[in-house]
Amino acid sequence: MRIFMSILILCSVFACGLLSSLLDRAAAGVFLQASSTQEQLAADTNPRVVTLNLTDAANGLSNQNGVVTIATGGTYFVLAAAQVGGKAKGYVRMWMRVNGRDLVNSNTEQVISGPGFTALLLCQDVTEFKKGDEVEMVYSGSTAGLGLVTHKPDGEFLVTSMIFSAFKLD
């Protein structure tokens, strides 16, 4: 048990150090964090652009309801975390779109075992953007009623349907 705890502590310290290093880089430069307080369920199986109705913090990137505009070209780390679920059984997929074109190898998928089931679906990438590029997150459900969900626990803050973070690495 002590060995397990020691390994767990070392992994936590490493993860915190890595996160701290990434945040230090972002604090000195270009970044954005946006989120959505809206439930976004598919009416059919067609792809839909994710709405990000809040800009939580930004410096050098802008968010217009889910369209993130790159102000300075360079290499970026992008992470989208969606709370997915819905009113049916099936799967939810999520991927990135840049300038209206789906970003290759960015598709992610989460199986939803039934109504009321939720999970966190992550999509991330490190990629080159040019000044003026527009980045969007896109999702689809295998059936109507699946997608991005919110939850308001008693006495706690809202669990948003998505948190989107991006920051320039160079």
- Residue 93, in any domain of the structure: yes
Q: Nearest-CA neighbor of 80 among 68, 65, 96? A: 96
Give buried/exposed letters for 65-91 (b at 16+ CB in 10 A, else e): ebebebbeeeebbbebbbbbbbbbebe
What is the pTM (predicted TM-score) of this model? 0.82
Residue with token string 């945040």: 23
155: number of Cβ within 10 Å: 5
Q: Quick check: is 151 in a domain?
A: yes
Structure confidence at residue 22 (pLDDT): 55
Angle, CA 160 vertex, CA 105 and CA 33 arms, to 5°: 65
Question: Is there a domain that residue 50 lies in?
Answer: yes
Residue 7 located in a structural domain: no
| Residue 11, φ and ψ in degrees, nearest 5 | -65, -40
The pLDDT of residue 28 is 58
Query: Would you state the pLDDT for residue 19?
Result: 54
pLDDT at 16 over 80: no
Domain limits for position 61: 31-168
Q: Is residue 116 part of a domain?
A: yes
Predicted confidence (pLDDT) at residue 7 exceeds the cutoff of 90: no
Domain count, the chain: 1
Residue 43 lies in a domain: yes
Q: Is residue 135 part of a domain?
A: yes
- Here the CATH number for the domain that contains residue 128 is 2.60.120.40
